[in-house]
Structure 1
Amino acid sequence: MPVHRPGSILPRAATAAVALLLAAFSLTVPVSAQAADVPARGSARMGIGVLGHDGAHGSPAPGLATQTEGVDVSGYQGNVAWSTLWSSGVKWAYTKATEGTYYTNPYFAQQYNGSYNVGMIRGAYHFATPDTTSGATQANYFVDHGGGWSKDGRTLPGTLDIEWNPYGAACYGKTTSAMVSWIADFLNTYKARTGRDAVIYTATSWWTQCTGDYGGFASANPLWIARYASEVGTLPSGWPYYTMWQYTSSGPTVGDHDKFNGALDRVVALANG
């Protein structure tokens, strides 16, 4: 019969149990913490990463050249009080239409048509997810789900919202050259479908990090810069000026407010191409 020395079994069992508990703790705590920080797919919106990465540095300085107030909205805002915004001086608006190829804004009709019905010049934007499908695929999805354009003097060209990835790595796991190729694929397809050059919405710090501060889109694609500060600061390479500026995520009525770099007739000019 085998001889068991006193205390030779219990210590091993206790050690194994402690190891299992520690392993379980180390696995579950980070996962649950990460899950709390990552938003649900489809919930991204313009500027979702601006405060976290660039911060906020005051309000636009008074005495700027003529600017026209605008707003951008998404499903996050739900039904929007467009008449209130119109009365406050907001004259143009962009509505999130799509994200990736898996999401369409359930409030799109109320937001896109509602802004138009009170007299605003309106447009639609697409939140890009370059790690899910190609640029061309997402451009087609965008056009097919509200991102088209018509020359009625009241519809702005579609906007590509390309910024920090709220679901993972900031640059979506792409090299700078691969990111530039993805963006070009989207822009070329959008123009082929609509006849218009899409607007690019981005932040300078993201653009520098994830495209290598590429300047090749500046000659054709208007820039919509995100910067929550008293001035826009340094622009991405190639653009000598911005067309639109998202200056806050905490404006009146709904969150994100913007300045168009010019009077209302210049907003109309962009709508007309």
Structure 2
Amino acid sequence: MPVHRPGSPRPRRAFLAGALIAVCALVPITPASAAESPDATASATAGTTTNTPTTPARGTARMGMGVAAHDGQDGLPTGTRAAQTEGVDVASYQGNVSWTTLWNSGVRWSYNKASEGTYYTNPYFSQQYTGAYGVGMIRGAYHFATPDTTSGATQANYFVDHGGGWSADGRTLPGTLDIEWNPYGDTCYGKSTSGMVSWIRDFLNQYKARTGRNAVIYTSTTWWSQCTGNYAGFSANPLWIARYASTAGTLPAGWSTYTMWQYTSSGPTVGDHDKFNGALDRVQALAKG
């Protein structure tokens, strides 16, 4: 081994080794065994092998995912009527939900994501759906639509077959079609306004044929205007409007009032919060049909 004498140049190998140690000390190390999130696992199940900062993995979409980004978030409701009933919507993003906590906070109804496209089902569906029912809530399920993957009728069948059905038990709400900003690509899923209207009609008709109920339509006014041409022909279906502001604002054409209003997105632990436009007996009436 060469000897380094005081005052002589340090051997090159020793210098490079010291520099490498210094650089490594500055770089954080992420454990290789870190657990995947539920949605990351779901994306693998859905056949997605890559992800980017701007395009989420297939299967990870949830109600209102694009509302804040496209429509803004201006504040919480002010001066809303006393005869409104608090609700919540959740997806696999929330994992195992503490339904007792939500019940004690005044939440009386809930929706949870059952399916997306024809390639994804929520791995937490059973805990969320039966858990809400178990604490006394009136519950329902929703389907995140992907009109660019399969037909409306095909997705309606997939939804019903994977938890989106309806039963006349007085505690189950009709299923919801979540039709909104596309987190995976083109805003309107590559469809013309007439093509989008046809896709939605096919879904709604098939859902009613399977369940006997009109599905709820969840959307935002800006998306509806852009992607359906503000079509006014679905007013027989209850409207669930998404707007993160102090009021529900202007509604899509055809509806003079909303049935439900998603007014804020509260993050991964408690879900998005909603108001039913009426007292609890009106929630019960919608469940009974």
Structure 2 CA distance for aligned equivalents of residues 246 and 118 of structure 1: 22
- How many residue pairs match? The answer is 239
Which of 232, 243, 246 in structure 2 is aligned with 1:215?
A: 232
Query: Deviation string for 1:47-106 (max 9, x for gaps)?
Result: 000010001011101242410000000011000000000000000000100000000000
Residue 52 (structure 2) aligns with: 35
Change (3 A) 1:177 1:86: same
Residue 218 (structure 2) aligns with: 201
TM-score, normalised by the number of residues in structure 2: 0.81
Structure 2 CA distance for aligned equivalents of residues 61 and 156 of structure 1: 27
Structure 2 CA distance for aligned equivalents of residues 71 and 233 of structure 1: 20
**Letter matched to residue 179 of structure 1:** M
**Aligned residues: percent identity?**
79
Residue 240 (structure 1) aligns with: 256
Residue 117 (structure 1) aligns with: 134
Query: Deviation string for 1:129-169 (max 9, x for gaps)?
Result: 00000000000000000000000000000000000000000
**Letter matched to residue 109 of structure 1:** S
Which of 177, 181, 185 in structure 1 is aligned with 2:194?
A: 177
State the secondary structure of the residue aligned to 2:218. Answer: strand
What does 1:1-273 align with in structure 2 at a 5 Å threshold? 35-218=52-235, 220-250=236-266, 253-273=269-289
User: 1:36 Cα deviation (Å)?
Assistant: 1.5
State the secondary structure of the residue aligned to 2:169. Answer: coil
Structure 1 CA distance for aligned equivalents of residues 94 and 54 of structure 2: 20
- Unaligned runs of at least 5 residues, structure 2: 1-50
Name which of structure 1's ranges 173-182 and 58-67 shifts more when overlaid on structure 2: 58-67
- Ranges of 4+ aligned residues in structure 1 off by more than 6 Å: none
TM-score, normalised by the number of residues in structure 1: 0.86
User: 1:35 Cα deviation (Å)?
Assistant: 2.1
**Letter matched to residue 108 of structure 2:** K
- Unaligned runs of at least 5 residues, structure 1: 1-33
Structure 2 CA distance for aligned equivalents of residues 196 and 240 of structure 1: 21
Root-mean-square deviation (CA, aligned residues, Å) is 1.2
**Letter matched to residue 231 of structure 2:** Y
Change (3 A) 1:211 1:250: same
**Letter matched to residue 96 of structure 2:** N
Structure 2 CA distance for aligned equivalents of residues 168 and 252 of structure 1: 23
